[in-house]
Structures are given as structure tokens and as C-alpha cells.
Amino acid sequence: MPGKYFAFSNGTPSRWILRSSTERNRALAHIIRAMLRFVLDTNVVLDLFHWANTDAVPIMAALEAGRIECFVDERTLDELQRVLTYPQLKMTPEMISERYARYRGLVKCVPAGEAPPLPRCKDRDDQKFLELAARCAADILVSKDKALLKLRGRTTLAFQIIKPAAASALLAG
């Protein structure tokens, strides 16, 4: 029977019988990248690190446990840093530094670059999250923003746009 053998780190050979190189590449990519890749909009980050919103608790637990990868870029980090200073959040400079540093320590920064063609978000400030999700090959963009959520189902994207509660349910199993 045709197939290709792959040896895993424990030395055990495993045989995959896949019809094409595309299937093999997809299967191998799935094994290599079994961890979900997330992009979180700024309001969701605040839910995680400031408000401790119950919808976001499982996301935070998965992030801290290393069960998901979360991606940022300079533009999303700049927005977070600016938003953390809003007076309505009532944060001291120490609180701002602590929350920013904690988040920054858990995420991976993606260099600036060109995103593939994407639909235009009605709120231009949120376009950066679509672009980041596309550039880092995210599986999920987690948002509570109505303009981003309206794009669900209206266009074909390589990633899902979901609310924090849906992301938490996905992580729960």
C-alpha cells in the first residue's frame, strides 16, 4: 500500500496514507501548528487584563498556559498603550505599565508588512486587526466591535471573527 513514513521525536515511525502532497502538507502543518492562533482587539485585551470579564477568563487561562498563540503588531500595541491611558479606566501609571508589560510578555509581535486583499471595515481604526489576522495566519480574530463582527458571513476570510464568549466556548472543547 502506498504511503510515506515519518519518524516522530520518540523514534516511532508513523505511516500516513494521503492521496496528494497537498494533503500531506496540510496534515503536517496541522501537527506542527496544532495551537490556535488568535488576534485580540483592544477591548478584548482590556477584558482580559483590566476588567477580568467572565467571557474572557478561558481565553486568559489558555494564553497563560501556552495553549493558544496570540499575535500583535506595533499598530495594535500602540493602540493598547494609548487606550490604557484613558481617564475612564482610572489606572495609575504603575497599573498601565504592569498591564502592558504582562500582555506584551504573553504575545508574539509580527513585523509590519502587506496584508492580502481584505474587505474594508466600516471603522477604519479596526482595519489593523483584520490586516494583522491575515498577515499572521490567525485562526481567530476575537472582537466585540460591531463593525468587525458585521463582516462575519459577508465575505470569505481565512480566519473567523468571533465574540469572546464564542472563543471561550471553543477553547472549552
Give the mean model confidence (pLDDT) for residues 43-51: 92
Q: Are 18 and 63 within one domain?
A: no
Q: Are 50 and 115 within one domain?
A: yes
Backbone angles phi, psi at 66, to 5 degrees: 75, 20
User: Is 28's pLDDT higher than 70?
Assistant: no
Q: Are 109 and 59 within one domain?
A: yes
Give the mean model confidence (pLDDT) for residues 101-114: 94
Q: Are 2 and 48 within one domain?
A: no
- Grid cell locating 40: 485580540
The more confident residue out of 17 and 53 is: 53
Q: Is the pTM of this model over 0.85?
A: no
User: Is 84's pLDDT higher than 50?
Assistant: yes
Contact between 84 and 96 (Cβ < 8 Å): yes
Q: Are 13 and 62 within one domain?
A: no
Q: Are 97 and 150 within one domain?
A: yes
CATH of residue 92's domain is 3.40.50.1010
Q: Are 22 and 87 within one domain?
A: no
How confident is the model at residue 21, as a pLDDT?
A: 54
Give per-residue pLDDT as tens, 145-169.
988 888 887 778 889 999 999 999 9
What whole-number percentage of the chain has pLDDT above 90?
Answer: 56
Q: Are 9 and 91 within one domain?
A: no
Angstrom distance (rounded) from CA 137 to CA 135: 6
Angstrom distance (rounded) from CA 24 to CA 18: 6
DSSP the chain: ---EEEE-TTS-EEEE--SSHHHHHHHHHHHHT-SEEEEE-HHHHHIIIII--TTTHHHHHHHHHTSEEEEE-HHHHHHHHHHTT-GGG---HHHHHHHHHHHHHHSEEPPP-PPPP-PPPSSGGGHHHHHHHHHTT-SEEE---HHHHTTTTTS--SSEEE-HHHHHHHHH-
Q: Are 90 and 155 within one domain?
A: yes
Q: Are 60 and 87 within one domain?
A: yes
Q: Are 18 and 74 within one domain?
A: no
Beta-strand pair 4-7/160-162:
unpaired
Q: In which band, very low, low, confident or very high, does the pLDDT at 115 lie, cut at 50, 70 and 90?
A: confident
Domain count, the chain: 2
Q: Are 90 and 134 within one domain?
A: yes
| Parent domain of 22 | 1-34
- Lowest pLDDT segment from 11-15, 60-64, 79-83, 166-170: 11-15
